[in-house]
């Protein structure tokens, strides 16, 4: 789908002592100051992924640095596919990134938002300026969907096969999203109180509204995703009630009230595995 004239040939003469900025083309959206980079077939020089699932292009200096934060429990099969696919996808984009898998090891209902808060804190401490929150069942289909942060918080996955590639509602802000560390801190992260499926992403959207942060999306064509099939999570009861008071909790429920026990952190070849008891 990328027009041929957008492909960049990376010169083989680059030496590591004189790193130049990675080549990105200014395309798509002026207001987001984003651009994409696609490189040619010569790229596959074997694996350059460091333990912990971190990758940095070696022949140029990347402009974007992103932590990919994935909440996880009990989907080993999906995770394997996700990791292999995402490393291929992300390396094409010539960005610096690291994949964090945050696993809930207790047996309480799944708390996606709290896991994302934990991943965000870890990534912020590691110095990442851009946080990409990503469900493990979503695979991006378009290389132009750059995994980097824009001036405004961005909803990456607006066009998913499961919803027949149509955005279900305008304020949907779940699935795969990107926010700068500054934006995430400004809204005190996400609510820690959503155990069970649903509502935590709508709560996050309410926080954006309070902070007057406008949401942006790339065009549907660029935002296409394939959702892997899976069993559904038990839905959270009374999530409407929790959501109703989202605005009153923003300053007391979030990053500043986050409590959990880190059970272990293991650096695997393709990801950093953080196991937590919520
Ligand atoms: C919505 C869910 C979201 C979910 C989307 C897409 C709720 C809150 C009800 C008050 N919201 O219905 O969390 O991401 O569907 O599946 O359940």
- Quick check: CB of 59 below 6 Å from ligand 1? no
pLDDT tens per residue, range 226-275: 999 887 777 777 788 999 999 999 999 999 999 999 999 999 999 999 99
DSSP, collapsed to helix, strand or coil, labels residue 33 as coil
Average pLDDT of every residue of the chain: 86
Q: Which residue has the higher pLDDT, 203 or 144?
A: 203
By C-alpha distance, which of 240, 250, 174, 253 is closest to 209? Answer: 250
The pLDDT score that the predictor gives to residue 235 is 77
The pLDDT score that the predictor gives to residue 24 is 52
pLDDT tens per residue, range 69-91: 999 999 999 999 999 999 999 99
DSSP 102-142: EEE-SSSPP-HHHHHHHHHHHHHHTT-SEEEEE-TTEEE--
Residue 31 has pLDDT above 50, yes or no: no
**Angle 267-84-235 from CA coordinates, rounded to 5°:** 85
Q: To test ligand 1's pocket by mutation, which of 199, 200, 233 has the most ligand atoms within 8 angstroms of CB? A: 199
CA atoms within 13 A on the CB side of 95: 29
The pLDDT score that the predictor gives to residue 58 is 86
The pLDDT score that the predictor gives to residue 272 is 98
Q: What is the mean pLDDT of residues 201-212?
A: 97
**Angle 94-15-2 from CA coordinates, rounded to 5°:** 25
| Cα 256 from Cα 108, distance rounded (Å) | 22
- Quick check: CB of 240 below 6 Å from ligand 1? yes
Classify residue 87 by burial, with Cβ atoms within 10 Å: 0-12, 13-18, 19+.
Answer: buried
Q: H or E element: which one contains 239? A: helix 239-244
pLDDT tens per residue, range 214-223: 999 999 999 9
Q: What is the mean pLDDT of residues 157-171?
A: 95
pLDDT tens per residue, range 32-45: 444 343 344 443 34
The overall longest dimension of the chain from CA atoms, in Å, is: 60
- Quick check: CB of 239 below 6 Å from ligand 1? yes
The contacts of residue 3 (CB under 8 Å, 6+ apart) are none
- Quick check: CB of 54 below 6 Å from ligand 1? no
Q: To test ligand 1's pocket by mutation, which of 138, 201, 205, 235 has the most ligand atoms within 8 angstroms of CB? A: 201
Centre of ligand 1 from the C-alpha of residue 12, in Å: 48
Centre of ligand 1 from the C-alpha of residue 199, in Å: 5
- Quick check: CB of 243 below 6 Å from ligand 1? yes
pLDDT tens per residue, range 93-116: 889 999 999 999 999 999 999 999
Query: Helices (DSSP H) in 70-221: which residue ranges?
Result: 76-92, 112-125, 181-186, 200-210
Residue 196 has pLDDT above 80, yes or no: yes
CA–chain centroid gap for 225, Å, is 13
And the tokens for 220?
């549907």
The pLDDT score that the predictor gives to residue 23 is 61
Centre of ligand 1 from the C-alpha of residue 2, in Å: 33
The pLDDT score that the predictor gives to residue 88 is 92
> What are residue 8's DSSP bridge partners?
39
């Amino acid at each position: 789908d990328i027009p041929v004239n957008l492909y960049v040939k990376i010169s083989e003469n680059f030496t590591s002592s004189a790193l130049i900025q990675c080549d990105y083309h200014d395309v798509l959206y002026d207001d987001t100051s984003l651009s994409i980079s696609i490189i040619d077939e010569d790229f596959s020089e074997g694996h350059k992924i460091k333990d912990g699932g971190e990758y940095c292009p070696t022949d140029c200096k990347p402009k974007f640095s992103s932590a990919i934060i994935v909440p996880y429990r009990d989907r080993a099969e999906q995770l394997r596919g996700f990791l292999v696919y995402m490393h291929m996808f992300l390396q094409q984009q010539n960005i610096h990134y690291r994949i964090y898998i945050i696993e809930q090891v207790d047996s309480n209902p799944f708390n996606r938002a709290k896991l994302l808060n934990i991943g965000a804190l870890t990534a912020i401490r590691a110095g990442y300026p851009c946080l990409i929150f990503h469900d493990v069942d979503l695979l991006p289909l378009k290389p132009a969907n750059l995994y980097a942060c824009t001036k405004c918080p961005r909803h990456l996955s607006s066009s998913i096969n499961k919803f027949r590639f149509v955005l279900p509602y305008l304020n949907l802000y779940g699935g795969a999203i990107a926010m700068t560390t500054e934006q995430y801190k400004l809204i005190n992260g996400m609510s820690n109180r959503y155990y069970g499926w649903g509502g935590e992403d709508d709560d996050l959207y309410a926080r954006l509204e309070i902070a007057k942060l406008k949401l942006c999306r790339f065009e549907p064509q660029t935002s296409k995703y394939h959702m892997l099939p899976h069993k559904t999570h038990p839905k959270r009861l009374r999530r409407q009630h929790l959501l109703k008071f989202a605005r009153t909790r923003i300053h007391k429920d979030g990053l500043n009230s986050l409590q959990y026990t880190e059970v272990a952190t293991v650096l695997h070849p393709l990801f950093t595995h953080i196991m937590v008891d919520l």
